[in-house]
Amino acid sequence: MEITGIIILMGVVTYLPRLVPMYIIDVERIPGRLKLFLSFIPYAALGALILPGSISAVNGKPVVSALGILSAVIIAWFNRNIIVTVLLTVLATFIFISAGF
Amino acid sequence: MNRLRLKDGIFAGIPVFIGYFPIAVTFGLLAVSVKISLLETFSFSVIVFAGASQFVGLNMINAGIGAGEIVLTTFLLNFRHFLMSASLSTRAAFRRGLIPFVAFGITDETFSVASMEKREFSESYMLGLNFTAYSGWVAGTVAGYVAGDFLPPVLQESISICLYAMFVAILIPAVRKSYRAGIIALIAGLINSVLGYFAIFGSGWNIIFSILAASMAGMFFFREE
């Protein structure tokens, strides 16, 4: 039940910024600095999540976590397909765990 | 020149469908690893319909972070749609009664397709575009969850890296395009790591603070492109 509540609230706070400006906002009047700030938020969020995960992604295995995320960075650098990156990273991580890191 | 209509929108959405489907499959797979139900996973994609924040939400639910922090982070993440929605509304005079449906489907990708369109379009074009994109997202989610249910348990531990691989896969192309994205991400990551190490606030608030601080730093140090 709690998860359902979270999902509904997530839906509401996602929907409102999509809806409200269509009725009221004049986009020309949004200051450039604010636009810049808003454009950075997705990158900041990803960084905030990835870096601490580089020791905690795989429970109780900091070395595997670090190697796994490093692999993901290298794989993503050379291919743009998200699902390929995810699958190859899982494979690499599986190998690291099997190798006993 | 005729204005673009529903059918044009449905076709314009096909590349978005193709792009969304595998990402949504990934979301479905991850949902299995986080152990939420099929119905919850389905509702996630039907109700929220936003890529990055669904993955982030899943990650935070998995970490046992409180509802308030999850919802606030989602709000911050998706606030950028505010600008896209505002910008689209200057492109066409949508019929007011249909605006709630047009607005629901505004994502980074549908916005890109519509705003790059040089011809005039109507609200029915937007509805068609949104419909195709939304179908890909919801169908992919269910397909991923069903596939994930058949996964052998030996893979479960390696699967926990999925979510992070996904974040990396979204971030790296942006970093390759502009070094700024990488610097902002690094600053936010460092702040969040330090806050986490000293356990000053709860981890949800750490994430929110890191996002705001790094984006603000970027706003002061970088100029508009």
Question: Mind listing the pLDDT tens digit for each residue in A25-80?
Answer: 666 677 888 888 878 888 888 898 899 888 888 878 899 999 999 999 999 999 98
Joined tokens for residue A35? 């636009």
> So what's the pLDDT on residue B218?
94
List the single residue in B with minimal CA-CA distance to A24.
B86
Residues of B in contact with A62 (CB under 8 A): none
> So what's the pLDDT on residue B223?
82
> So what's the pLDDT on residue A28?
66
Joined tokens for residue A26? 């004049």
Q: How far is A32 from chain B (nearest CA, A)?
A: 7
Tell me how crowded residue A21 is: count the other CB atoms within 10 A of its CB. 24
Question: Mind listing the pLDDT tens digit for each residue in B38-56?
Answer: 999 999 999 999 988 899 8
Tell me the HSE value of A10 on the side-chain side, using a 13 A CA sphere: 32
| Record: contact A58-B158, CB cut-off 8 A | yes
Residue B164 confidence (pLDDT) above 90: no
d(C-alpha A17, C-alpha A9), whole Å: 13
What are the residue ranges spanned by the domains of chain B?
6-157, 178-221
d(C-alpha B78, C-alpha A45), whole Å: 11
Q: What is the mean pLDDT of residues B8-20?
A: 87
ipTM, interface predicted TM-score of the complex: 0.85
Residues of B in contact with A82 (CB under 8 A): 22-23, 26, 166, 169-170
